[in-house]
Structure 1
Amino acid sequence: MSFTSRIAPRRRALAAAGTAVVLAVTLAACGSSKDSDSSMPGMDHGSKPSASSSSDMNHDHGSMPGMDHGGVDHGAMGDGLADAKDGYKLTSTATELPAGQDTAYKFQIAGPDGKPVTAFAADQTKKMHFYAVRSDLTGFQHVHPTMAEDGTWTADLSSLEPGTWRTYASFIPDSGAGKGQDFVLSRTVTVPGEAKKTPLPEASTTTEVDGYTVTVKGVLMAGMAHPTTVSISKDGKPVTDLQPYLDTYAHLTAFHEGDQAFAHLHPETKVDGDHGGPDLSFQAMLPKPGNWRMFLQFQTGGKLHTAALTLGVN
């Protein structure tokens, strides 16, 4: 299962395998933001993943009638599996990154004229969201890179386990032919060493992280919108102190098992202080059936938590 949504200026809609996707997310309680995203070095597929606070990335869009958030065009977009779209290209000389140590991934976004893009619009307070996930959907990291004057971005990644990783850059050009359009582009990179594949956990409607219980209510079917509620509790009691994080109370990304198709999911309602929760409501639609690994990021007491959950879409 999965879901998407937007905050102003928002930019995410999902289309996979040629199917245009829109995930309209209405958040019952919404939150604001913080500077760094979350990185989960070596996060496994257990039902009780732990998360650490850290960094960023994002996702691709086009123009979609009725889904304009703050002037940003959210429409027919790809699934984030290509390194180029509509003249924009994710370029990097890095084909291999070291295992077991913090490292930096450098890249540029080339525009239709072939030159590095240096003007980007902020989305959820950030001009670039960057994600890294291993092919078995472990090791999820979401960081916010920094850009040099020549348009070179540097994404600081925590220790990576051996295997094949896909890196995603999510951005909105602030000039040129793609101005105001939401993009998500990706490339793969190898981390040398003996790769030990972690089986994807079975689909489940609940998971735990840092003492919090996250529960998802709603049945999803591919290509159909369904109401979905995410509830957060702790010690059996509803959580009502969610803090703003990237202009929302919950940041969600999802990856499809097998091809790693990418979906960025956002609530729409504006945040109102440090008292979000416990229920977050969404209208969710995913374009293809199968298992989706969802990463839900939320903040309490100044700490960012990342919960992982496998959701099945019929």
Structure 2
Amino acid sequence: MMSITTRSLARSRAFAVSGSAVILALALAACGSSDDPSMSGMHHGHKPSASASASQDSSTGDMPDMARAADGNGLADNKDGYRLASPDTTLKAGKPTPYRFVITDPDGTAVTDFALDQTKRMHFYAIRSDLTGFQHLHPAMASDGTWTAALASLAPGSWRMFASFSPDSGSGKGKDFVMSRTVTVPGAAARTPLPAVADSTQVDGYTLTVSGQPTAGTAQPLAVRITKDGKAVTDLQPYLDTYAHLTAFHEGDAAFAHLHPTTSSGKGSSTLSFHAELGTPGDWRLFLQFRTGGKLHTAALTLHAG
């Protein structure tokens, strides 16, 4: 096993604890991989994300600064004294690559005690600035609190890496946190336009139809009906302790929203119900993951929150 240790990460922000340091002992041999397949190359329209198109943007992307203060949308790398720290600011394009990070508490100590959320202690998401390339992983944690997310191939551009977790001790116990940092993947970054707003999409022969109208800043019910060959799908299998996992990202800043299922509906039912609360008006790209026949499917569509 080979480990890599970085020097103490300099704390340049006012929230940092004076004199504290973050030591990352990064055991690459413990590189974590999800026990569920990810749609790592998912572009708009469910096409692989390997090649560039004619429309170009800067490889640095257009995401807000990773330290931007934000309440509940995951666009900050710190909240309530907790911090997401990582030495990785640049990742290679076109090949699987690890992303290493640690969560520190208000004292600057690496957190190692996390509560289970939908059967996992850490949910990790990667999304490019144009909301393509979605990946949802469950990384592995080393004994010193270092997490390693085994990312699949990344297309050039600016990416935002989200960590969703709940400490199981300390001042943050019982609280849900979502934090993020940006990384650059060098190369000619082809920007893919966001698909038009629609209430249905298809993936792997399944048709998903969404009903309900999200309203920014308020909780609204949202239902997703799944059919195949015109018939209701009633053989959904559990995924992360429920029958579907729905994540949304806001166009322009990639603000995060996790839409929680309102019931454990799914077994014998083709309609899934969610509690939708999208914090910002505008278009959102939704990624819905569900399992049938032992295979994980990931569908995407664009919804508008008024």
TM interval, short-chain normalised: 0.7 to 0.9
Report matched runs for 1:1-314 at 5 Å.
36-46=35-45, 48=46, 78-270=72-264, 275-314=267-306
Instruction: Give 1:312 shift.
Output: 0.8
Contact 1:205–1:311 (8 Å) recurs in 2: yes
| Partner Cα separation in structure 2 for residue 210 and residue 50 of structure 1 | 14
Letter in 2 for 1:194: A
The aligned residue for residue 31 of structure 1 is: none
CA separation of 1:288 and 1:268: change in aligned 2, threshold 3 A:
same
Deviations 1:8-45 (A, max 9, x none): xxxxxxxxxxxxxxxxxxxxxxxxxxx73442222111
- Secondary structure class of the residue paired with 2:180: strand
Instruction: Give the alignment's Cα RMSD to 1 decimal.
Output: 1.8
Contact 1:49–1:208 (8 Å) recurs in 2: no
- Secondary structure class of the residue paired with 2:190: coil
The aligned residue for residue 55 of structure 2 is: none
Instruction: Give 1:200 shift.
Output: 0.4
Letter in 1 for 2:143: E
Q: TM-score, normalised by structure 1?
A: 0.77
- Higher RCO (Cα < 8 Å, 6 or more apart): 1
Instruction: Give 1:289 shift.
Output: 1.0
- Secondary structure class of the residue paired with 2:261: coil
Q: TM-score, normalised by structure 2?
A: 0.79
| Partner Cα separation in structure 2 for residue 167 and residue 143 of structure 1 | 11
Deviations 1:217-275 (A, max 9, x none): 12222233433221000011000000000011110000000011000112132368xx3
- Secondary structure class of the residue paired with 1:186: strand
Contact 1:232–1:239 (8 Å) recurs in 2: yes
Instruction: Give 1:283 shift.
Output: 4.1
Instruction: Give 1:282 shift.
Output: 3.0
Gaps of 5+ in 1: 1-34, 52-75
Deviations 1:138-187 (A, max 9, x none): 00000000000110001001000000000000111011110111001100
Instruction: Give 1:276 shift.
Output: 4.4
| Partner Cα separation in structure 2 for residue 50 and residue 159 of structure 1 | 10
Contact 2:260–2:275 (8 Å) recurs in 1: no
The aligned residue for residue 15 of structure 1 is: none
| Percent identity (aligned) | 67
Letter in 2 for 1:301: G
Gaps of 5+ in 2: 1-33, 50-69
